[in-house]
Amino acid sequence: MAISIDWGTRVIYVPKDDMVIMRTEPTEIRQLSIDTFRQALNELQDTLQGITFPNTHTHNKSIDLGGVIIARVIEMINDYTVTFEDGQYAVNLVGANSNILDKTNLNQVSVRSANSAGLQDFSTLLAATYNGEVVFSDLGQPGTANPIGTRSTPSSSFADSIIIARRLGVNRIQLANSGTLSEGDVATGKVFGGDNPSIDELQIRNTAEVTDCSFENLIIRGTLDGNNTFRNCTIGQVSYVNGLVQDCSLTGPIAVDGGAQCNIINCWSGIAGVGDAELVTIDMSSSNSGLALRNYSGGIKLMNYTGVGSITLDFASGRVVIDPTCTGGTIGIRGVCEVTDNSPVGCTVLNQTLAGGLSTINDGVKKASLLIPHAEDLT
C-alpha cells in the first residue's frame, strides 16, 4: 500500500486508490484490509526515518479456539491518527478488530468498523463464502472484488475467475452454465467443473493455456495443451488429447497428440446407430502418441496411425474399424468386438477378440474337415 506517515504530526494518510473497490453505485464503497494496513505500517516503521519514532500500533494475531479462528486485533497507539483521502465514499474496515475508527480524522469519508467480540478471521470467512471454488456464469459480473465469484455473485469472465482463484488459493472453477476459454486465459493446473454435464459446455480455443487441467461434468470441445484429465464428461470434437479420459461419453472426433499416451478408461460411444457414420473417430494424428482403450462400449474408427506409439483396444462390447490411413505398427484388440481391418500391408492388427478367437477355431475346424466332416461354424 502507498500509505504515508507524517511523523511530525503522527498522521497516517491512506489514499483512496489503494483500497479495494466493492461497488460504485449508488454509493461508492471501498474496503481496507486491516491486516494489510498494519503490514504497511510495519514497513514504514522499519525505514531509517521510521525507526526513530514510537511504534504506530500493537498486533495480536488470530488464534484457533476449538477450530474457530478468532480474528486478530490491531490497536493504534502513541497518539497516531488516520486520515482517509477526502471524498464522498465509504470505507469498510475488515479482517480484524481495531480502534482505527476511533482514531480517524473526520472528513467526508464514512468509515465503518465491523468490530465484534467473536469476530472470526476474515480470510476464513471469505474461504467459507466461496466454498473452495470460484463460480463462473456468462450472466455474472465482471471484476475481481469480493464477493464476485461466489455462487450468489458469479464471475462473468474466466480471466477474472482465474485471478480470484489465485488470490483465494483455490484450484476449482465451477461453471454455472456454458463458457469459452480463449486468448489470455492462462488456466494451467486448474480444475473446471460443471453443474449439469448434459448442458454445461466448455469451449477451449487454441490460444488458451490449459496444460495439466482437469475437467469434470462438462461437455468439452476445442484444443487442449496436454496432460489433461476428464471425468464424467461428454468429449466432443477435441484435439491434442493425452492424459486420462475416464467414465466419459465420446462423440468425437478426438485427435490424440502430444507425444504422450492417452488412456480412455470405462468410456462409451455417445452416438446412437450402427453404421460407419455413427462411429467415434479417434485420430492418432500421425504422431508418436500411444492409446490405451479399456472397457469401452460402442463403435470407433481408428485413423492416421503410423506405428509410433503403442495401441491396445479392449472392448466390453462394440465395433472397431481400422482405417486405411493406419499404415504401420501393431494394434492389439481384445474383448467382445467386431473388427473391420482396412489397413494396408505394414500395419499389423492382432485380433484377440472373442469373435477373432472363434474365427481362428473355425478356420482350424475347416482345415480338419478334410478328415472330419464339418457342416457349420461354431457360434
- By C-alpha distance, which of 308, 314, 343, 350 is closest to 326? 343
pTM for the model stands at: 0.64
Q: Which residues of the chain have pLDDT under 50?
A: 358, 360-365, 367-368
pLDDT on residue 65: 56
DSSP, collapsed to helix, strand or coil, labels residue 123 as helix
pLDDT value of position 66: 58
- The string of DSSP letters for 159-194 reads HHHHHHHHHHT--EEEESS-EEE-TT-B-TT-EEEE
Cα-flanking dihedrals φ and ψ of residue 263, to 5°?
-110, 115
Distances (CA, A) of 295 to 34, 106, 313, 318, 335: 56, 72, 9, 10, 8
Distance CA 74, CA 70 (A): 13
Cβ atoms within 10 Å, residue 283: 21
pLDDT digits (tens, 9 = 90+) for 197-247: 888 999 999 889 999 999 999 999 999 988 899 999 999 999 998 899 999
Residues in the chain: 379
Question: What is the structure's pLDDT at 374?
Answer: 53
Q: Calculate the CA dihedral of residues 349, 352, 358, 359 and round it to 10 degrees.
A: 10
DSSP H helices in the chain: 34-45, 122-130, 158-168, 354-368
Peptide bond preceding 147: is omega within 30 degrees of 0, i.e. cis?
yes
What is residue 190's predicted lDDT score, i.e. its pLDDT? Answer: 93
What is the structure's pLDDT at 69? 58
Please choose, from the candidates 178, 285, 155, 218, the residue with its C-alpha nearest in 3D space to the C-alpha of residue 228: 218
